[in-house]
Chains A and B, each alone.
Chain A
């Protein structure tokens, strides 16, 4: 932090983002419970709810819930299939607006971003609350969507401030107000404290953020390692104030690439699961190559018998964006779970690659060993870039595409 000059960070969070976009585009759904689902068909019960409008929430419907459960709780809701091209387009518009306020914009997710407005505030002698109000108003007028805005001295406090008055609120927390505002809040309100950590903290008698701020450092370090110390800093309202910005609105900051597929009533056949996994790896690595990212950690996600799920991960010795490197790792992780799958069929399978490195094409160690695949995938990517993703695929994936995604008839251009 600059000496004598306090940082001012704004956290922007779009209210029920996907559902709000659909309500804006379809005014007949305004004021009604809208549920945007990640599924192949909203007529069925498979898939998960990606976003629920504020009208749907009193029914107990939440993001991440299965469509099956949601339909039981809210049978008269409007169930729509998510259109991620549409949401991404809107996010790019939002980033453009944010970048008109400051060049220091960090995109945290598709509907959340931080803005460092310290320079804007000092240069134009404008109050932080006023900047937040202008940002919110501009988003409403240009994109037609409601947002919640939090202002604080760092990213952590700004994010927590944004949670106070949702939807459509603006909350400003000044450093001098921090102890009075944070101390009485339940510890689960702290960014980074999930269900499990909350239970651990309750066991040591920590119920509020104020309680956590009082626990001795040595005790937290012994019990939770560096995470414990980080949480204590957060409880005192101290946090990271450096924004990972500078990529611009055309290329949002990415932390991982993942694809998943719902498997209906369940799939236990390991060969079919491997085939699906290969298709998912193809999708993930294609997006990585397009975004010029290389990744190191491969994570397999499985949901079993529609009742419980888990992840398994493996970190490579180098980075890669090739299916030929990512898929064998994901497959090995899947094969280890074969005994469990025999008992509980998989209802969802997913793969993601994280620990990313942004690099204008840089050959990884794997690629240097044998660059035939690199040359092949470069050629395949060129064909797909020009004629669309459906035109060319691995022969082993033809059956999977037909069963799980449908195949659009491929067309060559007329000239």
Chain B
């Protein structure tokens, strides 16, 4: 099941070797530690690069988060839940 979220989140990420890797995020007052980045890609909105990630944390759920280089903001776009 897919739930569209579209909310701002606070992310701790590592910027290294021209790449950004999210390590944990805070959503609705709960901290999620990123266990694995399953996939990532980027595209451009105007001149601003948008980075998108598929992440899994402690549960089997998959979180899709994005980073907007225009205002350096992170968003939780949607959550894929088993079932």
Contacts and interface: CB of A to CB of B under 8 A. Distances in A.
Interface of A: 21, 24-29, 42, 80, 85-86, 88-90, 144, 384-388, 391, 413-414
Contacts, number: 48
B70 A413 contact: yes
Given A21-B39, A26-B38, A26-B62, A386 B46 contact: yes
Contact of A25 (B39, B42, B43, B71): B39
A388 B38 contact: no
A388 B50 CA distance: 12
Interface stretch (B10-18, B20-28, B52-60): B52-60
Nearest to A383: B46
A387 B70 CA distance: 10
Nearest to A80: B2
Nearest to A43: B2
Contacts of B2: 42, 80
B33 interface: no
Contact of A385 (B46, B80, B82): B46
Nearest to B62: A26
Contacts of B38: 24-27
A33 to B, nearest CB: 15
Interface in B32-83: 38-39, 41-43, 45-48, 52, 54, 56, 60-62, 70-71, 80-82
A90 B39 CA distance: 10
B41 A26 contact: no
Given A29-B80, A388-B45, 20 more contacts: A24-B38, A25-B39, A25-B54, A26-B38, A26-B62, A27-B38, A27-B60, A27-B62, A28-B80, A28-B81, A28-B82, A85-B43, A85-B52, A86-B41, A86-B52, A88-B43, A89-B41, A384-B46, A386-B47, A388-B46
A25 B46 contact: no
B62 A89 contact: no
A385 B43 contact: no
A88 B42 CA distance: 10
Contact of B60 (A28, A86, A90, A413): A28
Contacts of B46: 384-388, 391
21 contacts: A24-B38, A24-B39, A25-B39, A25-B62, A27-B38, A27-B56, A28-B60, A28-B81, A28-B82, A85-B43, A85-B52, A86-B39, A86-B52, A88-B43, A89-B42, A144-B39, A385-B46, A385-B47, A386-B46, A386-B47, A391-B46
Contacts of A414: 71
Contacts of A385: 46-47
B72 to A, nearest CB: 11
A42 B2 CA distance: 10
